[in-house]
């Protein structure tokens, strides 16, 4: 390797940004970059990767999604419905049957 050349391990994120493992030991100025996937780094995309990609694409199209307040309100309403249903089921379980008197 030449004195004006350095190989650095890095990670390419979903937005195309490189995260270098360390700062290059080269003088500031223009450089030429070649990106090659490391054989050990090639991995299958997981669910989290797909979700991140979808979120990035939606943000790039201006999709804002639902607010935390909206999600919380929906969750609270669902919990209230579940509590009501549980109460009805408990009441039905403790009610005597018509022939058990």
Distances (CA, A) of 40 to 11, 36, 37, 44, 50: 12, 12, 8, 12, 21
pLDDT at residue number 62: 92
CA distance 7 to 34: 10
Residues of the chain with pLDDT under 70: 1-3, 40-42, 99-101
The 10 Å Cβ neighbour count of residue 49 is 12
Distances (CA, A) of 25 to 3, 6, 9, 78: 10, 8, 13, 57
pLDDT at residue number 94: 87
pLDDT at residue number 75: 97
The 10 Å Cβ neighbour count of residue 53 is 13
The answer to whether residues 8 and 21 touch, using CB atoms and an 8 Å cutoff, is yes
pLDDT at residue number 90: 92
pLDDT at residue number 4: 83
pTM: 0.38
pLDDT at residue number 37: 81
């Amino acid at each position: 390797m030449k004195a004006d050349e350095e190989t650095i391990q890095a990670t390419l994120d979903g937005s195309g940004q490189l995260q270098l493992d360390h700062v290059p030991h080269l003088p500031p100025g223009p450089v030429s970059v070649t990106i090659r996937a490391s054989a050990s780094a090639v991995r299958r995309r997981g669910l989290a990767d797909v979700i991140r990609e979808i979120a990035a694409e939606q943000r790039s199209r201006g999709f804002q999604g639902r607010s935390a307040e909206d999600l919380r309100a929906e969750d609270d309403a669902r919990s209230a419905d579940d509590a009501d249903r549980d109460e009805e089921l408990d009441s039905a379980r403790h009610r005597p049957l018509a022939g058990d008197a």
